[in-house]
Structure 1
Amino acid sequence: MNKNVAIIWGGYSSEIVVSEKSMNGIYSFLDKNRYNVYKVKIDKKGWTAEIEGKEYIVDKNDFSIFFGSAKIEIDFAYITIHGTPGEDGRLQGYFDMLNIPYSSCDWMASALTFNKFVCNNFLKNFGLNVAKSVYLSKDSKYDINAIAEALKFPIFIKPNTGGSSFATTKVKGIDKMQEAIDFAFSEASDVIIESFISGREVTCGCYKTSDHEVVFPITEVITKNEFFDYNAKYMGEVEEITPADLSEEKTLEIQQLTSKIYDLVGAKGIIRADFIISDNTPYLLEVNTTPGMTTTSFIPQQVKAAGLSMTDVLTEIIECEYQKIQKSL
C-alpha cells in the first residue's frame, strides 16, 4: 500500500511565495507510483489540503485530512515552509508529539539554525569562521555610531529569523543604517547586523541517513547585484556554477565543513551551508535546514551534478525517517 505523503508549504512570512515554488518542485520530484502525495498549505488563514483542485480541512488533532466522509491519515510530512512555523521547530515539535516522521531537522536543531546570530556564534565555538555581528531585538537600546565603529562599512542588516534575502540591505554609510534596521524589523522581531566579507560565495548541500553520508558538489554563486538578493535568487539575476571551479583541496575543505556543521547542529534530512571564501579562508554565512527545492534551486543542481536523482534522494530520506519512527513505536 502506498504511503500518504504531505508536502507542507505556506507559512506566516513573506517567504510563502518561495515556499510555494519549493512545494511544486518537491511534488515534481516525488515518486507518484510509490506515494500518494498531498499538498498541505499552512498559513494564518488555516490548514488545508488540495485534492483534485479542491481544498479540504486538515484536522490539527492528528494531522489527517477530511476528504468527504473519508479520513486520510498522513504517513510522512515533507516540510518546505521557509520561515515560521516550518523552519523554526514549531511544526517539528508538533509532528514529534504525533509520531509522524518528517523530512527536516528536529525542533531543537531547527530552532538553533533558524536564529542566525545564535547559530553562527554556536558554531564559532567549534572553529568555524563567521562574520562579526551585532544582535538587536525590538527592545534593544542601541547606538548606531557604536555599531558602525565596531563593524565598519559596508555592513549587512537583515532579519535575524528570516530568509530569502527579504528585508536585507547592504549599507555603505551611517545615514542609511536606521532605515535599514527599521526595514529588517518589518519582517522579523529581531535583527542581525554583520560585517561585510569580500570573496567568492559558495554553497554546499548534505544529507545523512543511518546507512551513509552524501555531501554534494559545491555551487558557486556569481551576481552583478550588490549581493545575493531576492532578484538574484529567484529572478535569474545570477550565474550559478555547479560544480564550483575550486581546487580539489578547497572543495574538500568546504565539503568537510558542511558535514561537520551537519553533525554539530544535529541535522536531519537535507541541509545547505553557505560560505564566503575570503583570502582562501571559508567564512560561514548561514545554515539552511529547509533549502529551496524548485527545479532550478541549488540542491537539485548539486544532486544532478553528483549523478544522482532527486526522486531517489527524497525516497531515501522518506524511507529512512519512516523506518526510524516505526522502530521506536
Structure 2
Amino acid sequence: MISKSRTRVAVIGGGISDEHDVSLASAASVVRAVGALGFAAEALTIGTDGRWRTADGQRVSASEAVERLAACDLAFPVLHGIDGEDGAIAGLLRMTRIPFVGSPVRAGALGMDKWATKLVAEDLGIATARGALAGGWAAPVGTAFASELRPPFVVKPTTGGSSNGVFVVADRVDLAATVEQARAFGETVLVEEYVRGREIDIAVFRDASGALRTGSTLEIGVVPGGVFDRAEKYDGSAEFTLPAPLDSRWETAIRRAAVLLYEALGCGGVARFDFFLTPDAVVLNEVNTSPGMTEQSQVPRMFAATGLDYADLVGELIAAAREEHRPR
C-alpha cells in the first residue's frame, strides 16, 4: 500500500522535440491526476532549449533538477519524441537510481525507431508494410531507391511522432523530393507501401501484481488524405469508436499482437500499439512507448471504456512503478 501523504511524484514534461507542446498538455493532466489521488506533485519542464525549469518557470541547472528528482519517491516522465521517449529520460533516471513510470532504455529506443520495431514485429510473425530506408546511414535517395515497392507510398521519419513529417506520395517521381521533406523531421526516413485498411489501436500496461492489462480496442475514423495527422490528433475532430467493432477473430489477433510486442520490446508503464486491419491480416503501423496522456488522449479513453478512469489509470501506473523498483 502506498502512503499517499508522504509520496512525492515528479512529473516531467516538455522536451526538445517537435512534440514539446503535446508533452506539456500530457504533463499538466498527469499533475492534476497525481493531486486528485492525494499525492504531492513536483512538476519539472524541459524547455525546447534543453534547460530544466520548475513549475513556476524558474530555470534550474541539470544537477539541481536531478536533486529535485531524487527528493521525490518516483518520477512520471511524459516526454514524447527524441531525447525523451527514445530511452534518454529512462537512462537518466536509471543512472541516478530514481524509480520511474514507463519503459526502460531498450524498449524506448526500439519503440521509437520505426524500422527496428518492424524487424521485431516480423520476427514475431506480425505483418508490417513493405518498406525501405533512406537518408542518414541508410541507402541514398536516387532513381533506384525503393524500386521494389509499389506506390502509393507513406514517407515518414523513423523517429518521428504525432504524425510530424508524414506524407502520402501517389507517384514514384515525387518520392525523392518527399523523402528530403521528411528529413527535416529526422535524418533517416522510412518509406512504406500504403496499407489500405481500418486503423485499430490498443494499449497495454503491467499492473503492480505483474498482470498485463489491455484497454478497449479503438478505431480511428476515415480521415481526409489518408493520414491521421497532428491537427486531427489534437484538435478534437478525430472520430474514435470504442470498442472497435471487430469479430472475435480480429479482436483476439490484435490483442495477441500487442501483448507479444509489449513483452518482446521489454516495455514498462503503458504503451500503445497501432495497427491496420486489412481483409486478411493485422498489420503493425507503429509503437508508442510514451503515448499522449491528456484526459482525452487515446490511451486514457481505451482504459476508461473498460471502467478504469483517468486518475485511477495514473494511480495504477504509479503503483506498478513502485512495485517494480521496490528493493528486493
Same-fold status (TM-score > 0.5) = yes
Q: Is 1:247 the equivalent of 2:250?
A: no
Give the Cα separation in 2 of the matches to 1:140 and 1:303: 39
Instruction: State the SS of the aligned residue for 2:127.
Output: coil
Secondary structure of the corresponding residue to residue 30 of structure 1: helix
**Moved segments of 4+, more than 3 Å:** none
**3-state DSSP class of the match of 1:204?**
strand
For residues 12 and 176 of structure 1, the distance between their equivalents in structure 2, rounded to whole angstroms, comes to 30
SS at match of 1:146: coil
> Which is further off, 243-252 or 190-199?
243-252
| Pair 1:139–1:266, CA change in 2 (3 A) | closer
For residues 262 and 60 of structure 1, the distance between their equivalents in structure 2, rounded to whole angstroms, comes to 33
Pick the structure with more strand per residue.
1
Q: Secondary structure at the match of 1:318?
A: helix
Change (3 A) 1:144 1:56: closer
**What is the correspondence of 1:156-175 to structure 2 with a 5 Å cutoff?**
156-175=154-173
Determine the C-alpha separation between the residues in 1 that align with 2:223 and 2:118.
27
State the partner residue of 2:114.
116
Cα distance, 1:72 vs structure 2: 7.7
Distance 1:304 1:173, change over 3 A: same
CA distance change for structure 1 residues 74 and 210 in 2, over 3 Å: closer, same or farther?
closer
Q: Deviation string for 1:73-126 (max 9, x for gaps)? A: 122111111112111111111111111111111001111111110111122111
Q: 1:48 aligns with which of 36, 50, 53?
A: 53
1:152 is matched with 150
Structure 2 residue aligned with 1:177, among 162, 175, 188?
Answer: 175
- Is the aligned partner of 1:293 residue 2:316? no
Identity of aligned residues (%): 26
Go from structure 1 to structure 2 and tell me whether the alpha carbon gap of 1:45 and 1:85 turns closer, same or farther (over 3 Å shift).
Answer: closer
The count of aligned residue pairs is 321
Change (3 A) 1:72 1:34: farther
Paired residues of 1:2 and 1:34 also in contact (CA < 8 A): no
Q: What is the TM-score when the length of structure 2 is the normalising length?
A: 0.92
* Contact 1:144-1:174 at 8 Å conserved across structures: no
Q: 1:61 to 1:48 in 2, by over 3 A?
A: closer
TM-score scaled to structure 1, two decimals?
0.91
The amino acid of 1:193's aligned partner reads V
Distance 2:63 2:171 in 1: 48
The question of whether the paired residues in 2 share the 8 Å contact of 1:217 and 1:243 is answered with yes
Structure-1 residue corresponding to 2:96: 98
Tell me by how many angstroms 1:59 deviates: 4.5
Could you list the runs of 5+ residues in structure 1 that have no partner in the other structure?
Answer: 66-70
What displacement does 1:175 show? 3.3
Which residue number in structure 2 is paired with residue 219 of structure 1?
218
1:9-44 Cα distance to aligned partner (Å, 9 max, x none): 112221112111211222232244531112211132
Which of 58, 63, 71 in structure 2 is aligned with 1:60?
63
Deviations 1:301-327 (A, max 9, x none): 111100112212221221222233231
